[in-house]
Structure 1
Amino acid sequence: MPICEIDPWRVQYFEKADCPASVFIPTEDSDAWTWNPTYRWVYDKLTVAMRQGLRAAPHGIQPTQYPVFSKPIYNLKGMGVGSRALHSPGDYQAAYQPGHMWMPLLEGAHVSSDVALIDGAPHWWGHANGIAGPDGTFDYWKVHAGAEPEIEAYAGAWCRQHLAGYTGMANLETIGGHIIEVHLRFADQWPDLYGRGWVEALVRLYEHGDWTFDDHVEREAYSVVLFMPHGRTYRHPPNKLLDRVKALAHVSSVQITFHENMAPERHAMPPGGFRVAIVNCWNLAAGQEARGLLREHFA
């Protein structure tokens, strides 16, 4: 599939797209890093922090004030692996690990922003706000309708300055308006919620270098996540249950987000839980109802 998706639960969003065999669109950071050597430096989170003037350093340079947030400098697997807040020198000593860094413990909304860039200039934005759960998990993401002017002004200027020459999708995660991560791809968790025709516009961006989709997302939506406890082996729900969940009013799609034939410990998961499912929906209550039905199966 030219839209290069390795997670089988997300192929559903792209399998009907008319994408030429010569056009390769990454959904994985490993592909994006390989195919964009000029811009792969954005995966260095320490560089991203320092290019914003944030106080940051690798482990080995002890913070002079706390709290700080510690994480791997590189983490192409995502899911918050290896990240934690440090509140004291004792926390820092206990968490010390080569290849990790610290930066300010930022406050404010955690927003994931997809942006279509042409020569580094933004031509479309899609924003989703993460509602945090325990220990690196998310309860759900809210896909915003309309613009986020402060993020678009700050992050847009950053893209124009640092990603000039790049044409394609980028995903920027911000907390309180500051960029914490940059990815040379889009968030493939909820493309169905961006609206009819968005995937076709994505293909055109990579094939022809222009953008034809309407500005911003028109309709508020949600991506509701189900985490279960670590230390168990889970099985996929039967098709009858999946059909029942998909048939609920306001539910757009369902993802069962793990490989049944792979050992649980081989999945990259945050400390707070093992992600088993995601429900994309147009109504939060509907997504929570669907999650409840799935939780009964996994429990």
Structure 2
Amino acid sequence: MPIIAPKPWRRQFFDHVACPDDVMIPLADTDAWTLCADHRWIYDKLAVALSQGLQAAPHGVMPPGYPVFSKPMMNLRSMGTGSRAIASQAEYEAAMAPGHFWCTLLTGAHVSSDAALVDGKARWWRHATGITRPGGTFDYWHVHSEAFPEIEDWCGAWAERTLGGYTGMINFETIGGRIIEAHLRFADQWPDLYGPGWVEALVALYASRRWTYDDTARTDGYSVVLFGPHGPRYRHPPAEAIAAAAALPGVLSVQIPFYEDRDPAHHPMPPGGFRLATINAVSLRAGMAAREMLRDKFT
């Protein structure tokens, strides 16, 4: 099995693919940090900001003006912990914290982009945008079939300039076409939306340092999320309910992304809700119909 420690609900994407025993492909930033020592510097968000010519400095250095954006220099757990916009000097002085930095407040579309790199050069791209809801939750993610030239040009040139020698997947988060975070992994929520044979190409990338994948038939995809309120200790739906939702035309997979036997508080969830299900589909209507089928099946 080619992926390091996939969560149980992700195994459906990878278990069918053969992989050499000595190949290790990270899904988590903590694993990528260990495996990719030569390039782990990209988890330093201050370094990433400065490498793009953005104004940025550790807390304690006064910004030349406001607003700015503040966040931890490093956060391998993600979830946006400790991130905030700062509008004034007084607010900045009250918010100063060890290990945090400020940078240019970017505006524009927030895009998540996966790319396959060979010796730092991008060979493949896919981009996703999220339809947000309150409290850090998402209604769904749209995995686009079209290219995003501004992001591909900027991030591709940045990778070629800074990641020579690195072969593997990379995930960029950008706002307005500029990098806010980079990860030495891919988004593991929707690899089935990248098309048949994509996981096989992923394994070949890590096993033989080459990228070969026919992506000419790509289509738009949707990753639809079902949230419930915080508080209850949920149980998984009956297997037949999951199977019925997965069998809807246009639905590719259903994930139930939590552990029944763990305290809900031990799951990293956004403040706006507890993630109960994720449905990947090539039709938004089908994904939403599957979500409604599952909505009342959690006890």
Superposition TM-score tier, normalisation by shorter sequence:
over 0.9
CA 1:232–1:188: 2 relative to 1, 3 Å: same
Q: Which amino acid aligns with 1:75?
A: N
Task: Determine the C-alpha separation between the residues in 2 that align with 1:271 and 1:35.
Answer: 31
Aligned equivalent of 2:281 = 281
Task: Determine the C-alpha separation between the residues in 2 that align with 1:166 and 1:21.
Answer: 21
Aligned equivalent of 1:53 = 53
CA 1:265–1:104: 2 relative to 1, 3 Å: farther
Contact 2:238-2:297 within 8 A present in 1 as well: no
Task: Determine the C-alpha separation between the residues in 2 that align with 1:273 and 1:63.
Answer: 35
SS of match in other structure, 1:38: helix
- After TM superposition, the score normalised by the length of structure 2 is 0.93
Q: Does 1:259 align with 2:264?
A: no
Aligned-residue offset at 1:74: 1.4
Contact 2:2-2:14 within 8 A present in 1 as well: no
Aligned-residue offset at 1:101: 2.5
Task: Determine the C-alpha separation between the residues in 1 that align with 2:286 and 2:258.
Answer: 23
Aligned equivalent of 1:213 = 213
CA 1:274–1:81: 2 relative to 1, 3 Å: farther
Task: Determine the C-alpha separation between the residues in 1 that align with 2:255 and 2:67.
Answer: 36
CA 1:235–1:63: 2 relative to 1, 3 Å: farther
CA 1:226–1:155: 2 relative to 1, 3 Å: same
Moved more, 8-17 or 69-78: 69-78
Task: Determine the C-alpha separation between the residues in 1 that align with 2:289 and 2:66.
Answer: 40
Moved more, 160-169 or 288-297: 288-297
Task: Determine the C-alpha separation between the residues in 2 that align with 1:253 and 1:229.
Answer: 23
Task: Determine the C-alpha separation between the residues in 2 that align with 1:92 and 1:297.
Answer: 46
CA RMSD of aligned residues (A): 1.9
Contact 1:254-1:279 within 8 A present in 2 as well: yes
SS of match in other structure, 2:157: helix
CA 1:31–1:159: 2 relative to 1, 3 Å: same
Aligned equivalent of 1:149 = 149
Q: Which amino acid aligns with 1:243?
A: A
Task: Determine the C-alpha separation between the residues in 2 that align with 1:95 and 1:237.
Answer: 43
Task: Determine the C-alpha separation between the residues in 2 that align with 1:92 and 1:51.
Answer: 23
Q: Which amino acid aligns with 1:154?
A: W
Aligned equivalent of 2:174 = 174
Q: Which amino acid aligns with 1:163?
A: L
Contact 2:226-2:295 within 8 A present in 1 as well: yes
Q: Does 1:35 align with 2:35?
A: yes
Aligned-residue offset at 1:61: 3.2
Aligned-residue offset at 1:280: 0.5
Aligned-residue offset at 1:48: 0.7
- After TM superposition, the score normalised by the length of structure 1 is 0.93
Corresponding pairs, count: 299
Task: Determine the C-alpha separation between the residues in 1 that align with 2:98 and 2:271.
Answer: 19
SS of match in other structure, 2:141: strand
Contact 1:237-1:294 within 8 A present in 2 as well: yes
CA 1:81–1:217: 2 relative to 1, 3 Å: farther
Aligned-residue offset at 1:289: 1.9
Aligned equivalent of 1:81 = 81
SS of match in other structure, 2:245: helix
Task: Determine the C-alpha separation between the residues in 1 that align with 2:280 and 2:200.
Answer: 20
Task: Determine the C-alpha separation between the residues in 1 that align with 2:101 and 2:273.
Answer: 23
CA 1:82–1:274: 2 relative to 1, 3 Å: farther
Aligned-residue offset at 1:119: 0.6
Aligned equivalent of 1:187 = 187
Identify unmatched segments of 5+ residues in structure 2: none
Aligned equivalent of 2:272 = 272
Task: Determine the C-alpha separation between the residues in 1 that align with 2:230 and 2:94.
Answer: 23
SS of match in other structure, 1:259: coil
Aligned-residue offset at 1:91: 4.3
Q: Which amino acid aligns with 1:201?
A: A
Task: Determine the C-alpha separation between the residues in 2 that align with 1:231 and 1:87.
Answer: 34
Within 5 Å, give how 1:220-231 maps onto structure 2: 220-231=220-231
Aligned-residue offset at 1:23: 0.8
SS of match in other structure, 2:295: helix
Q: Which amino acid aligns with 1:238?
A: P
Q: Which amino acid aligns with 2:153?
A: A
SS of match in other structure, 2:37: coil
Task: Determine the C-alpha separation between the residues in 1 that align with 2:93 and 2:270.
Answer: 21
Task: Determine the C-alpha separation between the residues in 2 that align with 1:134 and 1:279.
Answer: 20
